[in-house]
Amino acid sequence: MDGKGLSVTEKFGTHERLPAFSDRLVSIPDFLPQPVFEELRSDILRIVETERNYIPAHKKGGTVAYDTLRATSSKAVELYSLPEYQSVLSRIVGARLFETPTQDQSSLSILFYEKPGDHIGWHYDHNFYFGRHFTALIPLENRNADGSGLSSAKLFVKRGESIREIPTPPNTLVFFEGTKTPHRVTQLKKGERRVVLSMTYATDPRNSKVLEGVRRMKDVAFIGVRALWT
């Protein structure tokens, strides 16, 4: 990512066994080579302008949308499009994955939990495409108030009646089929911070005019009315 040929394949070679996707979710700690992660993290954390969103009883937090990242963070955009990285994700699900369109502001975004009470309630990720839809999360920062441990914001997923916590220390890949996996993040406490890189992929990223219209309306809740024309 820094022009010296660093890539995720330094850690996950083409013949190395990857976790099974039988539960529609995998979690891989220390996913990126450390130099790549540090470069990515520093590039993103210098972005200070976020778009706050609040949906009563469901969501409170900040977002940096795809169009902003295209203008401000070359490293996030580079990772999202990196063939070696996409190959690893494709191998995990056993199907060729493609980037979702640039006009989809959730294709590549940063999720900021940085104020008391920031959270998101139980939900599925909406799929606006003809193919299966997947979400990849990489926490960049996740700390409590004094920096001695992780924040209070916990990621939980649900399987039937079973609820499972997914650890999210920095540089953990959490990759899942969000349309089939209900999930939530609990509330942040004062002085804590959690910053997550979010990327979406689809086996077929085409959609219809109706689906595209619904997708734009969804983005309005996250980045405002400009989502209707971006």
What tens digit of pLDDT does each residue of 129-162 get? 999 999 999 999 999 999 999 999 999 999 988 9
How high is the pLDDT of residue 226?
47
Q: Is residue 14 part of a domain?
A: no
- Report strand pairing: 183-185 vs 119-123: antiparallel
Which ranges of the chain does DSSP label H, i.e. alpha helix? 34-45, 66-72, 74-81, 83-93, 209-223
How high is the pLDDT of residue 203?
98
What tokens were used for 184?
């939530």
Q: Is residue 4 part of a domain?
A: no
Q: Is residue 1 part of a domain?
A: no
- Residue 109 identity: S
| Structure confidence at residue 207 as a pLDDT band (50, 70, 90) | confident
Q: How many domains does the chain have?
A: 1
CATH number at residue 48: 2.60.120.620
Q: Is residue 13 part of a domain?
A: no
Q: How far is the C-alpha of 122 from the C-alpha of 76, rounded, in Å?
A: 27
- Cβ atoms of residues 128 and 215 within 8 Å: yes
How high is the pLDDT of residue 213?
62
| Structure confidence at residue 25 as a pLDDT band (50, 70, 90) | very high
Residue 118 clears pLDDT 90, i.e. is over it: yes
Q: Residue 135 pairs with which residues in a beta bridge?
A: 176, 200
Q: Residue 165 pairs with which residues in a beta bridge?
A: 156
Q: How many CB atoms lie within 10 A of CB 177?
A: 18
- Cβ atoms of residues 62 and 112 within 8 Å: yes
Q: Is residue 170 part of a domain?
A: yes
Q: In 102-229, which ranges are E strands?
A: 108-113, 119-123, 133-143, 155-159, 162-166, 173-176, 183-185, 193-202
Crossing angle of the two packed helices 83-93 and 74-81, in degrees rounded to 10: 50
Residues 6+ apart with CB under 8 A from 229: none
Q: Is residue 204 part of a domain?
A: yes
Is this structure's pTM higher than 0.85?
yes
Q: Is residue 18 part of a domain?
A: no
Domain of 45, in residue numbers: 24-228
Distances (CA, A) of 153 to 66, 103, 112, 173, 184: 24, 29, 11, 17, 10
H or E stretch at 53: strand 51-55
Q: Is residue 110 part of a domain?
A: yes
What tens digit of pLDDT does each residue of 67-81 get? 999 998 889 999 999
Q: How far is the C-alpha of 203 from the C-alpha of 224, rounded, in Å?
A: 28
